[in-house]
Structure 1
Amino acid sequence: MSGHSKFANIKHKKEKNDAAKGKIFTVIGREIAVAVKEGGPDPSNNSKLRDVIAKAKANNVPNDTINNGIKKAAGGLDSVNYEQNVYEGYGPSGVAIIVETLTDNKNRTAANVRAAFSKGNGNVGTPGCVSFMFDRKGQILIDKEECNMDADELMMFALDAGAEDFADNEDSYEVLTDPDQFSAVREAFEQKGIAMLEADVKMIPQNWVSLKSEEDRKKMQRILDLLDEDDDVQAVFHSWDEE
């Protein structure tokens, strides 16, 4: 089956860096707040909240932090209403970039995102200007060292659970699903006792862009670093081939 190892490996390293800096706690805290607001505080009746909790556990977020986030969001009194916004644009040499945000101040977030793009010689475009170059997919990554199933067995299990695609990468297995099937496939893995490195719905580029000049690479990294430092930014997807 087709592979997406470039995306998987890059994103895995990026997520680990986020976790090391503690930003993942902020990201997941906001996702919990939105999930509770949309579907209630009971995970058994809220598949989106179940997915966020699974993501939190995969990133070593303490149970107390998860439970406190749910209680705070359910209480409503001290909870913040976050608005979801997506920005699209281009980095150096036409690299496509999608920025997903959750914010309590849309004007602040928009200004910060535009500043990040401009400082890296990029620009924010109109909605839809690059999203057509990506596919929205549920993605599950499994560490080979933590999995006691062989590749063929795992692939058949994933496909039977409703997955669309399976890739055997260098250090991990990657499972892709339709976004609507993501929760069901993730829960099948969880019930089977298969440890997941990551499980989330992501935007996967259809084609990759190589940056030939060191200057362009530095400018692109500048954009990513600035976006990564912004607490309002939940996720960044791009078509830069970093290898």
Structure 2
Amino acid sequence: MAGHSKWAQIKRKKGANDKRRSGVISKHIRALTAAVRSGGSGDPAGNLSLKNAIAAAKTDNVGTDNIDNAIKRAVSNQDGGADYKTVIYEGYGHGGAAILVEALTDNPTRTVAEVRSVFTKRGGSMGNSGSVAWQFESKGVLLITETSEVAQEAVIELGAEDLQESEDGLEISTAPTDLYAVSEGLTSRGFTVQNASLTMLPSNTVAVTGSDADRLMTLIEYLEDLDDVQNVYSNAELPEEIEV
């Protein structure tokens, strides 16, 4: 997941999400609704949260019609006015892996009970607020297939914080607020941005192998399947056959 490749977690998540299309669309509609309300606008040009939510939805191949309709309903308050709030839960999984759970909920009491139940039943443990969050930092992550010196120079000139070559291409890290400026700058210079996403990257990783790796993935997948959970992050570095 996290570890030698920043892109591994996003690839793994996308592969998992492809098996759960209806749940994925529902999660993105909720995120779009919350972004419109928190940002006070249905125009992504003036609402960074909405711009992020649209990009995340497109990453998971949510259709343009679904995105547009969700924004229109949120603007006109057609969904009943649910007040979604972002809540972060923290815990530990197999092999000592730190886990950060990002939920978007209109009922935190319900959500924390569901998250705690999954941790307990799947061999993990809930932690107190702040127990693992300090190990993660919000970042923008982009991928372009071009790895030439010209591409790397362009990335640096556009203000990216870090870059590294991988089997997928050139992985780029940015400050969260710079994600789209870097993405649009690369596009304007003729590079194809395969993906642009906001994520939480760990400062350090822990290797998890064998049966611990299998059980950790099961725990994470059960957490991701909860209706209120938007994202699950871990500092685990897993074997490639599990990682993606």
| TM-score in same-fold range (> 0.5) | yes
Alignment correspondent of 1:130? 132
Structure 1 position 213, deviation (Å): 4.7
Alignment of 1:206-217 (within 5 A): 206-214=203-211, 216-217=212-213
| TM-score, normalised relative to structure 2 | 0.87
- Please point out which of 100, 121, 124 is paired with 2:123: 121
Moved more, 47-56 or 36-45: 47-56
Runs of 4+ in 1 over 6 A off after TM superposition: none
CA contact (8 A) 1:4 1:167 kept: no
CA RMSD of superposed structures (Å):
2.1
Structure 1 position 150, deviation (Å): 4.1
Structure 1 position 113, deviation (Å): 0.7
CA separation of 1:86 and 1:73: change in aligned 2, threshold 3 A: same
* Unmatched 5+ stretches in structure 2: 240-244
Alignment correspondent of 2:218? 222
Equivalent residue letter for 1:73 = A
* Partner deviation per Cα, 1:77-115 (whole Å, 9 max, x = no partner): 424221110001111232100000001221111011111
Structure 1 position 4, deviation (Å): 5.8
* Partner deviation per Cα, 1:160-191 (whole Å, 9 max, x = no partner): 22210111111232110112322322332344
CA contact (8 A) 1:119 1:219 kept: no
CA distance in 2, matches of 1:107, 1:163: 39
- Please point out which of 212, 217, 229 is paired with 1:233: 229
Q: Aligned to 1:197, what secondary structure does the other structure show?
A: strand
CA contact (8 A) 2:105 2:111 kept: yes
CA distance in 2, matches of 1:25, 1:156: 37
CA distance in 1, matches of 2:128, 2:170: 35
* Unmatched 5+ stretches in structure 1: none
CA contact (8 A) 2:147 2:170 kept: no
The answer to whether the aligner puts 1:47 opposite 2:48 as a matched pair is: yes
- Please point out which of 184, 207, 215 is paired with 2:181: 184
CA separation of 1:207 and 1:184: change in aligned 2, threshold 3 A: same
CA contact (8 A) 1:47 1:183 kept: no
| TM-score, normalised relative to structure 1 | 0.87
